[in-house]
Amino acid sequence: MTPAAVSILPPEVIAAAGRGWRLFPVKAGQKAPPLLPDWPVKASCDTDCLEEWEREFPGANWALACGPDSGVYVLDIDGPDGKASVEAWARRGWNLPETRIHKTSRGQHQLFKWPSGFVFTISAGKLGAGLDERGDRGYILIPPSFHPSGHRYTCENEAVPLADVPQWLIDLHHQRPAQPVAQASGEAVGKGGRTNRLVSLAGTLLRRGADPATIEAALIAENLARCSPPLPEAKVRGIAADIAKRYPSGESAAQAVNGLKLVALGELLSRPIIPVDYLLAGRLVAGSVSIIASKPKCGKSTFARNLSLAVARGESFLGWPVKQGAVLYLALEERAEDVAADFRAMGADGSEDIQIGDSAAVMDVLSILQDKKPVLLVVDPLFRLVRIQDGNSYAETYAALGPLIDVARQTGAHILCLHHSSKAAKAESIDAPIGSTALAGAVTSLMVMRRCESYRTICSVQRIGPDLLETVLHFDAATKRLSLGGSRECVEVANVGVAILAALVDKSLSEPEIDDAIEGKTTIKRKALRELTGQGKIARSGSGKRGDPYKYQKGCSPVPALIEKNGNKKLFEGVSEEPNREEKKVVPSIRNYNGNKGTSNSNDPEAGTNIEEMLVPAKTGLPLNSEKPGTSNLVEVRV
DSSP 519-558: -S-HHHHHHHHHHHHHTTSEEEES-SBTTB--EEEE-SS-
Query: Same structural domain for residues 285 and 266?
Result: no
> Residue 435, by phi and psi: left (phi above 0), alpha (psi -120 to 50) or beta?
left
Kindly report the average pLDDT of the chain as a whole number: 78
Domain that holds residue 544: 490-638
Element (H, E) at 438: helix 438-442
241 & 314 share domain = no
Quote the number of domains for the chain.
4
Same domain, 159 and 215: no
The pLDDT confidence band at residue 80, using thresholds 50, 70 and 90, is confident
End-to-end CA distance of the chain: 66
Quick check: 592 pLDDT over 70?
no
User: What pTM was estimated for this model as a whole?
Assistant: 0.47
Q: What is the rounded distance in angstroms from the CA atom of residue 375 to the CA atom of residue 194? A: 29
For residues 545 and 65, give the distance between their C-alpha atoms in angstroms, rounded to a whole number: 75
Both 435 and 567 in one domain: the answer is: no
Residue 559 has pLDDT above 50, yes or no: no
Reported as a single tens digit per residue, the pLDDT across 299-338 is 999 999 999 999 999 999 999 999 999 999 999 888 888 9
Q: What is the phi/psi pair of residue 194, to 5°? A: -65, -50
Is the domain of 108 the same as that of 156? yes
Of the candidates 466, 500, 527, which is a domain's last residue? 466
DSSP readout, 104-172? -SSEEEEEEEPPTT----EEESSSSTTEEEE-TT-EEE-TT-B-TTSPBPEES-TTPPPEEPPHHHHHH
| Contact by Cβ (8 Å): 152, 12 | no
Nearest partner of 16 among 96, 137, 111, 128, judged by Cα: 111
Residue 483 lies in a domain: no
Range with lowest mean pLDDT among 240-254, 425-439, 588-602: 588-602
Same domain as 305, residue 252: no
Among residues 32, 222, 241, 6, the alpha carbon closest in space to that of 138 is found at 32
pLDDT per residue over 340-383, tens digit each?
999 999 999 999 999 998 754 444 676 778 778 899 999 999 98
Q: Residue 314 — left, alpha, or beta (φ > 0 → left; ψ -120 to 50 → alpha)?
A: left
Tell whether 546 is covered by a domain: yes
Is residue 472 included in any domain, yes or no? Answer: no
CA distance 421 to 297: 11
In this structure, the answer to whether residues 159 and 209 fall within a common structural domain is no
Contact partners, residue 49, CB within 8 Å, separation at least 6: none
Contact present, 107 and 146 (Cβ < 8 Å)? no
Is residue 478 domain-resident? no
What sign does the dihedral 184-185-189-193 (CA atoms) show? Answer: positive
Region for residue 176 given its phi and psi (left: phi exceeds 0; alpha: psi -120 to 50; beta: otherwise): beta
Confidence category of residue 209, pLDDT binned at 50, 70, 90: low
DSSP string covering 567-622, please?
A: T-GGGGTT--SS--GGG----PPPP-----TTS-----GGGS---SEEEEE---SS
Please tell me whether residues 165 and 82 are part of one structural domain.
yes
CA distance 54 to 544: 80
Identify the CA nearest to 153 among candidates 109, 79, 102: 102
Q: Last residue of some domain: 270, 301, 336?
A: 270
Q: Is residue 427 part of a domain?
A: yes
Rg of the Cα trace of the chain? 33
Q: Is residue 91 part of a domain?
A: yes
Q: What is the pLDDT of residue 15?
A: 93
**Residue 254 and residue 209: Cα distance in Å, rounded?**
13
Last residue of a domain, one of 397, 432, 466: 466
Say yes or no to pLDDT of 474 above 60: yes
198: left (phi over 0), alpha (psi -120 to 50) or beta: alpha
Verify that 438 and 342 share a domain, yes or no: yes
Same domain (yes/no): 265, 286 = no
Q: How far apart are CA 621 and CA 55, in angstroms?
A: 63
The CATH number that applies at residue 573 is 1.10.10.10
**Residue 407 and residue 330 in one domain:** yes
Residue 181: inside a domain, yes or no?
no
Strand ranges inside 393-455, DSSP E: 414-420, 445-451
State pLDDT tens for residues 142-184. 999 999 888 999 998 988 999 999 988 888 877 533 333 223 3
Instruction: Give the CATH number, domain containing residue 434.
Output: 3.40.50.300
- Please indicate, yes or no, whether residues 288 and 370 belong to a single structural domain of this protein: yes
Q: How far apart are CA 302 and CA 355, in angstroms?
A: 16
Q: Which of 147, 157, 143 is nearest to 13 (CA)?
A: 143
For residue 187, is it within any domain?
Answer: no
C-alpha to C-alpha distance for 399 and 415, rounded to whole angstroms:
16
